[in-house]
C-alpha cells in the first residue's frame, strides 16, 4: 500500500524534513504491511464489530463532580493569558 | 431560466445536562474561563471517557419527538482533525451508526397574512447523532485564546435531507425543531448562548432538474433571523453568479448578519479527511423497547398536534381557538399549558375569551413588569373566574380590564376586587333598567322601525343612552334581553 506522507504530515500539522519523510514512510509502510496480513484471514460469515467484548451501555448517572482548578488545568500550557491557553492565531 | 434552491440544514443542539458528555465535571455556560475541565476534557494521558446516561436519554427523546427510528445498536467514532479547540485532536462523534435514523420535522409556512395559517409540510431528516462540543476560541491580536469550558458538552447534530426549498422553509424548520426540543426539555435552544447553532448547505438548479448543483456551506448563522436572511442572500448570490455566466464553486462562506454580506472562508485545498474509526474507549449502546417506552412516556404532546387540538371544535375535544391565538400560545409550552388549565376551569364556550385575555392582556402585563409566567401572581383559576364573571354579565368588559390589572399586580381574586371596588354591573331585575330601556325606545323611533324590519344591529342604537343612564354599569346581557322583550311587545 502506498503511503502519501505529505498528505499525512499536512493532516497531522507536522513539518517533516526530507530525511524524516523517508524514515516515517518506511515505518508506516511496515505497519500497514503488517495489518495487510489480516486480509488473509477468512472472515466469511463473521459480523463486523468495532469491539471484541460483548459489553454494551456503559453509562453513568448525570451527577457532576468537581474538576480541575484553573491553575491545574493550565499547568501544561506553555503560553497563557487571562486564564486561557494561548496558541498562534487560528482562523479557519 | 428559473432556478430553485435546494437546502439542507445541520443543526447542532447542546443537550441540557448537569455534567459533560463523556466525563462528570459540570457542564455550563457563563462560568469563568477554564473552570469546567478535568483530565478527560483536557485529554490528559490515561483519562477514559464514560458516557452520560442523561444525554443518551435526551437524544432518544429528541428522536422520538421528531419521528426518528431509534437504532437498536449504535456506536461512537473518532473524527480526527487538528485544531486547538479540541484538546484530544479528535472529536468523539457517531459516523456510520448514529443513534437516530430518519424522522420528519413538521413545519408551518407563513400564511398570506398574520391571522391566516400557512401550509404545513414534513421535512425528512437524515439522522441525529450524539457527539461532544469543542472549546471556544477567542481570536485576538497575537494569538487565539482557548476556553475549554464548552469542550465535552453533549451536542446532538440534527441533519436534514436536502429537502428545503426556500429561506422561509429553513426558518420554519428551525423554529419547529427549536419548539419541539424545548417542549421536551432537552435544551433551552438559546442561540445567543450557542445552545443551538445552524449551518446550511445551499445549491441551486434549474426548476425541473433533479440533479443537485454545487453546494456552498454557509456558516455563522447565529440567530434564527440570520438563518433566513443568510440563506436568502446566498440563494440570490448563486443565481446572480450563474446568470452572469459564472460557476458556483464548492466552498464555505461566512455570513455576516449585521452587514447582510457573506465572504468565502479560505477554500480548502482538499475535502476534509477525518479518518473516522470506532472509539475503542467507548462501548456501543443498545436501546431496547423498554428503554424507548420509558422515555416515550415522558414526552410532551408534539407542538403542532397541540395546535390542531386547540383549534379543533369543542365537540371534538378542542377549544375552537382561532389561529391568531393558537399560534401565539403554542410555541411556549408553559403558556399553552397555562391556557389549557384556565380554559378547562372556565368551561364550555369560554376558551376563546381565556385565550384573548392571555394573548392581549397577560402577555403585555408580564412584559411590562418584566415578570415570567412561572412567578406571575395571577393564576389560571383566577382568570377562569374573571371570564365567568364577564360571561354571566356581572362584570362589564371595561371594568374587567381594571380587575385584571389588579389581579396581575396583587394576585387578589377577581370577585374580591369587584366587591372592593364596587365594579359589579347593576342588578339585572330592577325596574330602573326597564325604565331606561323604555325611555331609549321612545326616543329612537327610527331604530324601532329598523329592528322591526329585521335589522338586528338596530338594537345597538338603544344601548348608548341606557349605558349612559346606568353610568356604564348596566348588565349588557340584561339590557339586551329587556330591549328584545319590550320591542317584541310593541
Q: How confident is the model at residue B269 (pLDDT cuts 50, 70, 90)?
A: very low
Shortest CA gap B161–chain A (Å): 26
Partners of residue B286 in chain A, C-beta under 8 Å:
56-57
Q: Which pLDDT score, from 0 to 100, does residue B266 have?
A: 63
The residue to which cell 329585521 is assigned = B454
Give the residue numbers spanning the domain of A7: 1-41
DSSP B53-86: HHHHHHHHHHHHHTTPEEPSEE--EEEE---TT-
For chain A, the straight-line distance linking the first and the last C-alpha, in angstroms and rounded, comes to: 32
| 3-state secondary structure (DSSP) of residue B232 | helix
Gap between the Cα atoms of B209 and B264, Å rounded: 27
Sign of the C-alpha dihedral computed for residues B231, B237, B242 and B247 taken in this order: negative
- The DSSP code for B457 is G
- Answer yes or no: is A37 within a domain: yes
Q: Over the stretch B101-149, which tens digit does the pLDDT of each residue have? A: 999 999 999 999 989 999 999 999 999 999 999 999 998 888 999 999 9
* Cβ–Cβ < 8 Å for B53, B225: no
Q: How many CB atoms lie within 10 A of CB B48?
A: 10
Encode pLDDT of B162-207 as tens digits.
999 999 999 999 999 999 999 999 999 999 999 999 999 999 999 9
Write the CATH number for A25: 1.10.20
State whether A55 and B283 contact (CB < 8 Å). Answer: yes
Q: How many helices (H) and strands (E) in chain B?
A: 16, 18
* Domain assignment of residue A72, yes or no: no
pLDDT per position as a tens digit, B402-446: 999 999 999 999 999 988 888 777 665 577 888 888 888 988 888
Backbone torsions φ then ψ of B393, nearest 5 degrees = 85, 5
Q: pLDDT digit string (tens) for B26-63?
A: 999 999 999 999 999 999 999 999 999 999 999 999 99
Chain B residue numbers with beta carbons less than 8 Å from the beta carbon of A71 are: none
Phi-psi region of B181 (alpha: psi -120 to 50; beta: other; left: phi over 0): alpha
Write down how long chain B is.
Answer: 490
Q: Which three cell numbers stand for residue B456?
A: 338586528
Residues with Cβ within 8 Å of residue B334, at least 6 apart in sequence: B373, B374
ipTM of the complex: 0.88
Query: Residue A48: closest CA among chain B residues belongs to which residue?
Result: B278
Average of per-residue pLDDT across B446-455: 89
Q: Is A32 on the interface with B (CB under 8 A)?
A: no
Calculate the average pLDDT of chain B.
Answer: 92
CA B438 – CA B448 distance, rounded (Å): 11
Instruction: For chain B, say whether A59 makes contact (Cβ under 8 Å).
Output: yes
Residue B238 has pLDDT above 90, yes or no: yes
Let me know if residue A36 belongs to a domain: yes
Beta partners for B156?
B13, B130
Nearest to B299 by CA among B46, B34, B57: B57
Planar angle of CA B409, B412, B415, nearest 5 degrees: 130
Could you tell me the sign of the dihedral formed by the alpha carbons of B321, B326, B329, B333, in that order?
positive
* Polymer length in residues for chain A: 92
From CA B183, how far away is CA B223, in angstroms rounded? Answer: 20
Whether A2 is in a domain gets the answer: yes
**Which of A12, A13, A62 is facing B53, going by the closest CB pair?**
A62
Specify the number of domains making up chain A: 1
Looking at residue B125, its pLDDT comes to: 98
CA B297/CA B184 separation, integer angstroms: 11
Determine the average pLDDT of the residues in B233-257.
93
Note the pLDDT of residue B270: 52
Q: What is the pLDDT of residues B309-368, one digit of tens each?
A: 999 999 999 999 999 999 999 999 999 999 999 999 999 999 999 999 999 999 999 999
Residues of A in contact with B38 (CB under 8 A): 65, 67-68
% pLDDT > 70, chain B: 98
> Which residue's C-alpha cell is 375569551?
B353
The DSSP line for B302-361 is: PHHHHHHHHHS-GGGTS----HHHHHHHTT-HHHHHHHHHHHHHH-TT-HHHHHHIIIII
* Residues B22, B132 contacting (CB under 8 angstroms): yes
* Structural contact between residues B74 and B97, judged by C-beta atoms closer than 8 angstroms: yes
A15 to chain B, any CB pair closer than 8 A? The answer is no
- Rg of chain B's alpha carbons, rounded to an integer? 30
Judged against a pLDDT cut of 80, whether residue B18 lies above it is answered with: yes
Which 8-state DSSP code applies to residue B165? -
Q: Give the residue from A50, A53, A61, A80 with the most B CB atoms within 10 Å of its CB, the best one to mutate.
A: A50
How many residue contacts between A and B have a Cβ separation below 8 Å? 134
Q: Do the domain assignments include residue A81?
A: no
- d(CA B467, CA B483) in angstroms, rounded, equals 13
A90 in reach of chain B (CB within 8 A): yes
Residue B394 pLDDT more than 90? Answer: no
Chain A residues whose beta carbon lies within 8 Å of the beta carbon of residue B145: 81-82, 84-86
Contact call for B143 and A88, based on CB within 8 A: yes
Asked if A70 and B273 come within 8 Å (Cβ–Cβ), the reply is no
Shortest Cα distance, chain B CAs vs residue A35, angstroms: 15
List phi, psi (to 5°) of B445: -60, -40
Q: What is the reported pLDDT for B384?
A: 96
Q: Can you tell me the mean pLDDT for B91-96? A: 96
Residues in a beta bridge with B91: B79
Q: How many CB atoms lie within 10 A of CB B49?
A: 21
How many other CB atoms are there within 10 angstroms of residue A12's CB atom? 12
| Residues of B with Cβ-Cβ distance to A14 under 8 angstroms | none
pLDDT at B456: 85
* Domains (range + CATH), chain B: 3-291 (no CATH), 301-421 (no CATH), 431-489 (1.10.10.410)
The answer to whether position A3 is within a domain reads yes
SS3 B217: strand
Least confident piece of the model among A24-28, B138-142, B150-154, B307-311: B138-142
pLDDT value, residue B158? 98
Q: How much is the pLDDT for B478? A: 80
Higher-confidence position of B472 and B33: B33
Q: Degrees (nearest 5) of the Cα angle A34, A20, A89?
A: 110
Q: Sorting pLDDT into bands at 50, 70 and 90, what band is A35?
A: confident
Q: How far is B143 from chain A (nearest CA, A)?
A: 4
Residue A54 lies in a domain: no
The backbone torsions φ and ψ at residue B136, rounded to the nearest 5 degrees and listed phi first, read -110, 130
Tens of pLDDT, residue by residue over A71-86, are 999 999 999 999 999 9
Residue B35: which of A70, A85, A89 has the nearest Cβ?
A: A70
Q: Is residue A92 part of a domain?
A: no
Q: Poorest-confidence range of B94-98, B136-140, B319-323, B464-468?
A: B464-468
Positive/negative CA dihedral, B110, B114, B120, B125: positive
Amino acid at each position: 500500500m502506498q503511503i502519501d506522507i505529505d498528505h499525512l504530515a499536512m493532516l497531522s500539522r507536522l513539518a517533516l524534513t526530507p530525511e524524516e519523510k523517508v524514515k516515517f514512510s518506511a515505518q508506516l509502510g511496515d505497519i500497514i504491511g503488517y495489518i495487510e496480513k489480516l486480509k488473509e484471514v477468512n472472515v466469511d460469515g463473521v459480523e463486523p464489530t468495532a469491539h471484541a467484548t460483548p459489553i454494551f451501555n456503559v453509562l453513568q448517572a448525570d451527577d457532576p463532580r468537581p474538576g480541575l482548578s484553573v491553575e491545574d488545568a493550565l499547568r501544561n500550557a506553555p503560553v497563557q493569558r487571562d486564564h486561557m491557553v494561548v496558541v498562534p492565531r487560528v482562523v479557519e | 431560466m428559473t432556478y430553485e434552491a435546494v437546502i439542507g440544514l445541520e443543526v447542532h443542539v447542546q443537550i441540557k445536562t448537569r455534567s459533560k458528555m463523556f466525563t462528570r465535571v459540570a457542564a455550563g455556560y457563563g462560568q469563568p474561563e477554564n473552570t469546567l475541565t478535568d483530565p478527560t476534557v483536557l485529554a490528559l494521558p490515561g483519562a477514559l471517557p464514560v458516557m452520560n446516561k442523561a444525554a443518551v436519554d435526551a437524544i432518544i427523546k429528541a428522536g422520538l419527538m421528531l419521528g426518528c427510528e431509534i437504532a437498536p445498536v449504535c456506536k461512537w467514532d473518532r473524527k480526527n482533525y487538528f485544531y486547538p479547540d479540541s484538546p484530544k485532536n479528535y472529536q468523539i462523534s457517531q459516523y456510520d451508526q448514529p443513534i437516530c435514523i430518519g424522522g420528519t420535522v413538521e413545519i408551518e409556512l407563513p400564511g398570506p397574512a398574520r391571522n391566516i395559517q400557512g401550509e404545513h409540510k414534513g421535512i425528512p431528516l437524515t439522522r441525529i447523532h450524539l457527539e461532544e462540543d469543542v472549546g471556544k476560541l477567542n481570536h485576538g491580536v497575537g494569538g487565539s485564546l482557548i476556553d475549554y469550558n464548552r469542550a465535552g458538552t453533549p451536542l446532538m447534530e440534527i441533519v436534514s435531507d436536502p429537502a428545503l426549498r426556500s429561506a422561509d422553509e429553513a426558518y420554519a424548520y428551525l423554529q419547529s425543531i427549536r419548539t419541539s426540543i424545548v417542549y421536551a426539555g432537552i435544551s433551552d435552544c438559546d442561540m445567543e448562548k450557542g445552545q443551538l447553532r445552524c449551518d446550511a448547505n445551499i445549491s441551486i438548479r434549474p426548476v425541473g432538474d433533479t440533479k443537485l448543483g454545487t453546494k456552498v456551506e454557509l456558516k455563522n448563522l447565529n440567530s434564527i433571523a440570520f438563518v433566513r436572511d443568510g440563506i436568502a442572500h446566498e440563494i440570490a448570490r448563486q443565481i446572480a453568479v450563474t446568470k452572469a455566466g459564472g460557476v458556483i464553486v464548492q466552498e464555505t462562506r461566512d455570513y455576516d448578519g449585521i452587514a447582510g454580506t457573506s465572504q468565502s472562508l479560505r477554500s480548502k485545498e482538499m475535502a476534509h479527511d477525518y479518518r473516522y474509526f470506532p472509539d475503542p474507549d467507548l462501548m456501543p449502546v443498545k436501546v431496547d423497547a423498554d428503554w424507548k417506552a420509558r422515555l416515550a412516556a415522558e414526552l410532551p404532546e408534539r407542538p403542532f398536534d397541540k395546535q390542531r387540538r386547540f383549534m379543533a371544535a369543542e365537540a371534538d375535544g378542542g377549544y375552537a381557538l382561532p389561529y391568531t391565538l393558537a399560534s401565539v400560545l403554542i410555541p411556549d409550552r408553559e403558556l399553552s399549558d397555562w391556557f389549557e388549565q384556565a380554559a378547562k376551569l372556565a368551561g364550555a364556550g369560554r376558551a376563546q375569551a381565556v385565550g384573548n385575555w392571555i394573548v392581549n392582556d397577560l402577555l403585555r402585563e408580564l412584559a411590562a413588569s418584566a415578570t415570567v409566567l412561572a412567578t406571575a401572581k395571577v393564576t389560571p383559576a383566577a382568570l377562569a373566574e374573571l371570564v365567568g364573571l364577564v360571561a354571566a354579565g356581572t362584570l362589564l368588559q371595561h371594568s374587567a380590564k381594571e380587575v385584571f390589572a389588579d389581579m396581575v399586580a396583587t394576585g387578589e381574586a377577581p370577585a374580591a376586587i369587584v366587591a372592593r371596588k364596587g365594579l359589579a354591573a347593576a342588578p339585572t331585575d330592577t325596574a330602573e333598567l326597564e325604565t331606561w330601556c323604555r325611555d331609549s325606545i321612545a326616543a329612537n323611533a327610527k331604530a324601532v322601525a329598523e329592528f322591526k324590519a329585521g335589522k338586528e344591529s338596530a338594537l345597538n342604537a338603544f344601548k348608548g343612552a341606557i349605558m349612559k343612564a346606568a353610568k356604564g354599569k348596566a348588565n349588557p346581557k340584561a339590557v339586551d334581553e329587556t330591549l328584545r322583550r319590550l320591542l317584541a311587545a310593541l
